[in-house]
Amino acid sequence: MPGDAVFTEYPTLFCSEAMILVRVYIPTEQAHDTVVNLGMLRVIQFVDLNRNVSPFQRSFVGELRRLDQMKRIVRNFASQIAKDKGPISVRSLGTSPPFVITGALARQRFDELEITLREHDARLSRMTTNYESLSTRLDELLEIRSAIIESTVLFSRLEIRPSFDESSAPLLQQDDHENQLYPTDTHTAVDFIAGTIDRQRFPTLERLLWRLLRGNLHIAHTSIREPLVDAATGQTILKDVFIVFSHGSGLLSRARKATESMGGSIVPLDLDENKRMRALHAINGRIEELQAVLHSTASTRRSELAIIADSIRTWEDVIFREKLVHKALNLFRYDRRRKTLVAEGWCPRRDVSRARDTLRAVGETACSLVSPFLHELVTTKQPPTFHRTNKFTGGFQSIMDAYDTASYQEVNPGLFAVITFPFLFAVMFGDIGHGVILALMALPLVLYEDKIAELTLDDTVTPFFHGRYVILLMGIFSIYTGFIYNDIFSKTLHIFSSGWIAPSNGSGFVELVRNGRVYPFGLDPAWHGADNALVFLNSLKMKMAIVIGVAHMTFALCLQIWNHLRFNRRTDIYTQFLPQMLFFQSIFGYLCVCILYKWSVDWNAAGRSPPSLLNMLINTRFYPGQGFVQVTLLVIAFACVPWMLCAKPFLIWWERRKVNGPSYSVLDSNQSHVDANDEEEVPEQEDSDAVPDGVGEDKGFDDVLIHNAIHTIEFCLSCVSHTASYLRLWALSLAHSMLSAVLWDLTIGRQSVASAGGITGTIARAVVILGWFGITVGGLVMTEGLSTFLHAMRLHWVEANDKHFEGRGKPFRPFQLASDDDDY
Amino acid sequence: MEALFFNVDAGFLEGIVRGYKTGILTQAQYANLCQCETLEDLRTQLSATDYGNFLANEPTPLSTSTIADKATQILVDQFNYIKSSAVSPLSKFLDYITYGYMIDNVVLLITGTLHERDTHELLERCHPLGWFDTMPALCVATNVEELYQTVLVETPLAPYFRECLSAADLDDLNIEIIRNTLYKAYLEDFHAFCQTLGGPTTDVMTRILSFEADRRTINIAVNSLGTELSKEQRAQLFPSIGRLFPEGNNQLAKADDLDQIRAACEGVVEYRSFFDTSASSGQGGEDPAAGLEDRFFVTEVHLNKLAFLQQFQYGVFYAYMKLKEQEIRNITWIAECIAQEARDRMQDFIPIF
């Protein structure tokens, strides 16, 4: 089939590019550079030739592992840079010196890079370990200091007797006999431990200690105000300091063990306040020392990180590209006899010569006797679909691609969407003012596109930037339909003189009279504010929606012909296209003719009221000979149904009988052609995957019957529903104009706003106008615009595409050294 | 009725769990894993499965324990995600699942303390799902009474533990008795709870828990042969649920050798094969437990897979946890085989799908 692919001299969007399957023979030593260059060219989509080799048994898996290691190191750098206190500026990729990954020295450069990374990694991890152990020590000291400071409150609250004893000598002597009861000295008369623990876990610890010591304890705690660093996780947490008093070293040691197991830490505290103060001083001194050391460690670490940050983007980029290259290399087959790699891939026919030139250039650069060369294959496999778009058509094409990828070389609805999409949008969005706003929003994006493209955009702006031409066209078309509806911010423009004048003596409700003129373009401004304006507009827009819809669908239906001719299905024109067209036109085409006829007749001059289209089929006299025409059309329409239903299955059955009549079957000419062309080295798998991609004629006859029946029923029903669906053009346009009218009336149009005088009035007017403008842009243009956009998209996807679009293609994804999906 | 209102509270979570279930490794993926030559290959191969790049940030000399830990961590994260959005009675059901892990952790800590292992090392080996606040304090306790009074009294395990208080000292045998008593109480309690849920949950969970109980009963019987455990004590450890209860349990309590155990299990058709084939496979004679254990696992996997055939019931949550645990065991097994270059035994894992 690709043999007769449509190939035009210039790229066209009418159908997808002609593709051919190419086989590239690459000398092993040039494989890397070749793939890099092809990746920059972006014209070949490589096919996996090792489908039955599991990922870790492929040739370049060792390289990939190495790259994974390097990637891990770089990722570690990035997280260290992000974690460091104080920002470290990372040099962006654009400003970094490029890292060339091709050429004779590339291998060596890359090895050097690996060594550099390892050195940095070793150095950084050493510094980090140092830094972390120091800061852990510091955190511990800080914790002890806080514990000492905060525990002062606890000790003062407790009024411990021994401290009282100590400060006054006479009492001590008096209590001598008391002391003899206790074998220990006063300091240990009351035993205690002190410690700190996560504030949330304190209640648990308290309960636990209570049970563990069977209630023989006194526990006091207070919160440490400043947050401390948890040694285990590195997070800052709030802690409590507590003191547990109890008897006996056994109990206390158990309490100590329990505290430690619960994640608390024991702080050595002394009962004597002076000793505590001395300890505090000592700790303060050590903290200062540590902080000085820590500071110098941190600054060396920072300077190391700064060196890394200087080139980390380059490294990330290099590793990413190398990974893509080696993944591509893994798709290739290795030919042992000739020491070459064999790659296969799809390439647009237009670009084959460019690919050849690139390959030759690679060979010349390498100063090698053999350069990689490219060989075209003939195949029956279905090629991928590739629409060559530019910055203008890209937006429209991506709207249609979002529905489904077109089959290879079928008519591309994206081409027509360039005009029909903004037009259908504008029919619903028709307002000069809103159109101007929309166009003005897109205009700077278009005018400064080169500059904007260089910026890194965030996710909200990117879609607008990609669709800038779509938005611009939508705006311009809306201005056009706005003129037709004569609608600007719900007001009208009196460009030409109106065809109606008010009678001179009227008051209150007056009936305008014609003055014989016809308003030359669009809607007569006299309708604005008229009592029957809505009735008139509804009738006009509803009928217009039907006419536009039928025209759009008829056009879409005609696109079938090209597909039928293109895919050698000539009979489908008679069995599918023709009955569908007749059915559709004899019912809905006739309706449109009647609408246009009704508009074209001056019913006042004819001297009777205009007939209702609703009753047309039943009794209304419209034009002479109406009955005969209508009955004929109806008969044609009904006759088309069995035609659609039976003709195609019958033809297929007839063909089959002719083929199966003789006892042998005809060889598929394409298939034999391939076999002749293939070289001896092609392995068996080639044939195995050619079969499922092939034409697949062997569908059961009942399948065909059922499929055709469903298709027929669906088409007949969808004619009605799709035509009705185009009424959304009327509904949306009406809703839009009503919304903007209501907004005007509630803000600027209010009597109180318009008539307010003085400075306050001016300020009030300014505020109201600003508010009105804000709501107009935010609500009417953006939100309403988005909803209208979705409706226009639906009309294209469902109503129009249903008539011709097959959408069974696979998108063409050329190998390139940049990827959208960053899953590595 | 459960079909009418089940989805109000648990429909979303059931969907999530069924989604998780589709990520369980298939036979084809196991076949790929078994082809791996090194643990690096295994990492590459696992990254193509639902595990994704869970090992991407691990430095090169990969150890089997890292793989197991990371895989467990994924399971724990999934469980916690489900648990955080569950409401009663599903949340209660999920709590019951964690009790099993708590028992394991408690026993692990007691045993470790008894043998004077390092506390931190022990805590690291505890299953994260069985973690409770006062768990580290278990290391402090020195006898059963204290264990209960200080630590376990405020955990959900307290009611189970009450029956163990008769055991006086902590030694290996007593710990084993504690473990089994706890499990017995846990299974009976869980079983009773599942009966209150009604509907298909009861059906499915009764099936699974009965097997679990029988498995424990048989294991206790087999392992207590030739030990100093008296027959009365043995009988007390048997859960009072399961398909062997009561007469099978009675016979098992009195059994003196493997043949009598086999005879006791004759009553249940499905259990007959456990012993039949173990004798014929050759390794049965001396060490019947090894072959038996594998068959138990196979049956467990089978039962848990059956749980997914019914909708509108909580059994899927339990079954998913068990299947995933089996999968982690499988991966660890394969990884061990690769690490120790025992490729011939690599196929001995238990396939799930």
Range of the domain at A256: 150-277
| Cα gap B70→A349, rounded to integer Å | 49
Instruction: Give the pLDDT confidence score for residue A159 in this predicted structure.
Output: 58
What is the per-residue pLDDT across B209-244, written as a single tens digit (0 to 9) for each?
A: 999 999 999 888 888 887 878 888 888 888 888 888
Set of chain A residues whose Cβ sits within 8 Å of the Cβ of B149: 211
Q: How far is CA A336 from the centre of its chain?
A: 44
Contact B134 A69 (CB under 8 A): no
Burial of A819: CB neighbours in 10 Å, binned 0-12, 13-18, 19+: middle
| Cα gap A167→A273, rounded to integer Å | 11
Q: Kindly report the CA angle at A709 between A705 and A715, in degrees rounded to 5?
A: 145
Three-state secondary structure call for residue A214: coil
Burial call A548-571: b when 16+ CB within 10 Å, e when fewer: bbbebbbebbebbbbbbebeeeee
Contact B140 A212 (CB under 8 A): yes
Contact B35 A54 (CB under 8 A): yes
> Does residue B338 contact residue B39 with C-beta atoms inside 8 Å?
yes
Low-confidence ranges of chain B (pLDDT < 50): 278-286
Place of tokens 């047309």: A616
Task: Give the mutation candidate from A64, A125, A211 for the B interface (greatest B CB count, under 10 A).
Answer: A211
Burial of A450: CB neighbours in 10 Å, binned 0-12, 13-18, 19+: exposed
Contact B150 A75 (CB under 8 A): no
Contact A258 B140 (CB under 8 A): yes
Put simply, whether B136 touches A (Cβ < 8 Å) is yes
| Cα gap B97→B348, rounded to integer Å | 27
> Does residue A72 contact residue B59 with C-beta atoms inside 8 Å?
yes
Residue ranges in A385-498 assigned as alpha helix (H): 393-401, 413-429, 432-447, 449-454, 462-466, 468-485
Q: What is the dihedral of CA B120, B126, B130, B136, to 10 degrees?
A: -20
Compute how many other C-beta atoms are within 10 angstroms of the C-beta atom of residue A314.
16
Residue at A205 is within a domain: yes
Q: Could you say which DSSP state residue B176 is in?
A: H
Three-state secondary structure call for residue A69: helix
| Cα gap A794→A801, rounded to integer Å | 10
Q: Kindly report the CA angle at A55 between A51 and A58, in degrees rounded to 5?
A: 85
Burial call A22-51: b when 16+ CB within 10 Å, e when fewer: bbbbbbeebbbbbbbbbbebebbbbbebbe
Contact B139 A201 (CB under 8 A): no
The sign one gets for the Cα dihedral B32, B35, B38, B39 is: positive
Closest in B44, B48, B134 to A204, CB measured: B134
> Does residue B136 contact residue A261 with C-beta atoms inside 8 Å?
yes
Set of chain A residues whose Cβ sits within 8 Å of the Cβ of B139: 257, 261
Contact B151 A207 (CB under 8 A): no
Instruction: Give the pLDDT confidence score for residue B228 in this predicted structure.
Output: 79
ipTM of the complex: 0.78
Closest B-chain CA to A121: B59
Three-state secondary structure call for residue A501: strand
3-state secondary structure A370-405: CCCEEEEECCCCCCCECCCCCCCHHHHHHHHHCCCC
Strand stretches in A774-821, DSSP E:
none
Q: How many domains does chain A have?
A: 2
Burial of A386: CB neighbours in 10 Å, binned 0-12, 13-18, 19+: buried
> Does residue A427 contact residue A548 with C-beta atoms inside 8 Å?
yes
Instruction: Give the pLDDT confidence score for residue A119 in this predicted structure.
Output: 92
| Cα gap A427→A402, rounded to integer Å | 23
**Total H helices, total E strands in chain A:** 30, 13
Closest A-chain CA to B31: A54
Closest in A57, A201, A254 to B140, CB measured: A254
Contact A211 B45 (CB under 8 A): no
Interface of B with A in 99-128 (CB under 8 A): 119
**Long-range Cβ contacts of B31-35 (<8 Å, 24+ apart):** B32/A54, B33/B331, B33/B334, B34/B334, B34/B346, B34/B347, B35/A54, B35/A56, B35/A57
What are the tokens at A13? 């969007």
Three-state secondary structure call for residue A317: helix
| Cα gap A737→B233, rounded to integer Å | 88
Put simply, whether B150 touches A (Cβ < 8 Å) is yes
Contact A61 B44 (CB under 8 A): yes
Closest A-chain CA to B149: A211
What are the tokens at A108? 């060596």
What are the tokens at A334? 């290795």
Residue at A75 is within a domain: no
Distance, in angstroms, between B229 CA and closest chain A CA?
32
Contact B137 A72 (CB under 8 A): no
| Residue A584, H or E segment | helix A578-584
Compute how many other C-beta atoms are within 10 angstroms of the C-beta atom of residue A647.
18
| Cα gap A769→A750, rounded to integer Å | 11
Put simply, whether B34 touches A (Cβ < 8 Å) is no
Task: Give the mutation candidate from B150, B152, B154, B338 for the A interface (greatest A CB count, under 10 A).
Answer: B150
Place of tokens 């809905």: A588
| Cα gap A410→A119, rounded to integer Å | 56
What are the tokens at A201? 């876990």
Closest in A69, A261, A263 to B140, CB measured: A261
> Does residue A154 contact residue A220 with C-beta atoms inside 8 Å?
yes
Put simply, whether B195 touches A (Cβ < 8 Å) is no
| Cα gap B14→A63, rounded to integer Å | 42
Residue at A335 is within a domain: no
Residues 6+ apart with CB under 8 A from A491: A528, A744
Q: What CATH number does residue A273 fall under?
A: 3.30.70.2750
Contact B44 A56 (CB under 8 A): yes
R_g of chain A computed on alpha carbons: 42
DSSP per residue over A134-162, as a string?
HHHHHHHHHHHHHHHHHHHHHHHHH--HH
3-state secondary structure A723-747: HHHCCHHHHHHHHHHHHHHHHHHHC
> Does residue A213 contact residue A252 with C-beta atoms inside 8 Å?
no
Question: Nearest CA to A347 among A52, A18, A575, A591?
Answer: A18
Three-state secondary structure call for residue A223: strand
> Does residue A549 contact residue A726 with C-beta atoms inside 8 Å?
yes
Instruction: Give the pLDDT confidence score for residue A147 in this predicted structure.
Output: 84
> For residue A472, which amino acid is it?
L
Using a CB–CB cut-off of 8 Å, the residues of A that contact B are: 54-57, 61, 65, 68-69, 72, 75-76, 201, 204, 207-208, 211-212, 254, 257-258, 261-263
Instruction: Give the pLDDT confidence score for residue A176 in this predicted structure.
Output: 45
Question: Nearest CA to A690 among A678, A704, A708?
Answer: A678
Q: At what angle do helices B199-224 and B315-339 cross, to 10 degrees?
A: 40
Phi, psi of A439 (to 5 degrees): -65, -40
Contact B151 A262 (CB under 8 A): no
Burial call A71-94: b when 16+ CB within 10 Å, e when fewer: bbbbebbbebbeebeeebebeeee
Put simply, whether B133 touches A (Cβ < 8 Å) is yes
| Cα gap A788→A732, rounded to integer Å | 7
Question: Nearest CA to A790 among A474, A411, A468?
Answer: A474
Three-state secondary structure call for residue A408: coil
Distance, in angstroms, between B39 CA and closest chain A CA?
11
Count contacts between A and B (CB, < 8 Å): 54
Contact B136 A262 (CB under 8 A): yes
The pTM for the full model equals 0.73
Three-state secondary structure call for residue A369: coil
3-state secondary structure A586-629: HHHHHHHHHHHHHHHCCHHHHCCCCCCHHHCCCCCCCCCCHHHH
Question: Nearest CA to A383 among A348, A332, A353?
Answer: A348
- Average pLDDT, 10 consecutive residues per value, chain A (824 residues): 60 87 88 88 89 80 87 88 79 76 79 90 89 86 84 72 45 45 46 83 85 81 80 76 82 82 80 82 90 89 88 88 89 85 91 89 81 86 90 91 90 93 95 94 91 79 89 95 91 85 72 81 86 89 94 94 90 91 94 90 78 74 83 93 90 84 51 43 41 49 89 92 95 93 88 78 89 92 94 94 90 80 39
Instruction: Give the pLDDT confidence score for residue B138 in this predicted structure.
Output: 80
DSSP per residue over A95-131, as a string?
GSPP----STTHHHHHHHHHHHHHHHHHHHHHHHHHH
> For residue A678, which amino acid is it?
D
